[in-house]
Amino acid sequence: MTDVDSSLAKGRSLIAEAEKKVDNIEKAFFSFGSKSHKYEDAAELFTKAAKQYQLAKAFIDAGNAYMRACECYGHSNYGTYNIANCYIQAAHNFAKQDTTAGIAAMLKGIALLSEDGKFSQAAKYEKELAEMFEIIADLDNAIKHYEIAAEYYDMEGSKATGAGCLEKIIPIICEKGDFHKAIELIEKICENYSTSLAKHSIKEFLLKAGILYLCIPDKIAANKSLEKWTAKYSSEFKGTRESHFLANLISAFMKEDSELFKGAIEEWQSISTLDRFKETYLDKAMEKLAGGDEEAVEEDYT
């Protein structure tokens, strides 16, 4: 018998023992001793079974065993925090083979953590939940749960970590074309990073926000924001290559000069390459500068 077969056999044996124990509890008219304690004993057997299934890489079976443990713990005096962790274990196992099942279990675990005021842990798992929604391409829920994670981190005083969650949203929102919201989030990220070790990245984010203004296109708002950001982040943004690059891009838009715009990009690329985000949205801005979306321009200036 292989190690996998052995683990599967042990898991099944423990499940059978646990189910028999639960059946006896539910059938008993009278109980000598605490039912809570008996349910905890059954839950521990389900948990042990889950671990054996994990060793065998039978992750769906492991997840189901953890879920049965949660049910049993729910009939006991077991703390909600511990039950929540059991749901999280189930979610992690399900997610290896069935993301949707992982999401369902994770939601239950997070709900208990939130009710118990464990916002730091809830934030961590909200971020994982958002990543699961990304896997199944449910982008609206991905955005929602990244935002909840950021909110929980903020509540716990971990603003920089919360900003990291908001970072995850930016590409998703931009793909949906909601540039105004993306800019708003970038400004919030910069505020959160301004008092952290990550403040060196502010110049990069503000450059991205400026480029997004040109994708709307709104050269007036871009220019006003450049002035505002230069004053607000004088030590992080003023005088940087990013600030200079953005000023040149905006100037090209003001003059409606595509060649000047291309020249600013070439100047940047002579020193460093453009990342995928900047390349993608500079191309979109170029389309707007070339008159590819007159309706958007008119709508933005009304």
- Determine the Cα angle at 132 with ends 126 and 133, to 5°: 90
Query: Among 109, 112, 114, 115, which Cα is nearest to 128's?
Result: 109
pLDDT score for 7: 95
Residue-wise pLDDT tens digits, 62-113: 999 999 999 999 998 888 988 999 999 999 999 999 999 999 999 999 999 9
Domains of the chain: 1-117 (1.25.40.10), 206-302 (no CATH)
pLDDT tier, 34 (very low <50, low <70, confident <90, very high otherwise): low
Q: CA 220 to CA 216: how far, in whole Å? A: 11
pLDDT score for 31: 52
Query: Among 194, 271, 286, which Cα is nearest to 234's?
Result: 194
Q: CA 99 to CA 9: how far, in whole Å? A: 26
pLDDT tier, 177 (very low <50, low <70, confident <90, very high otherwise): very high
Whole-prediction pTM: 0.87
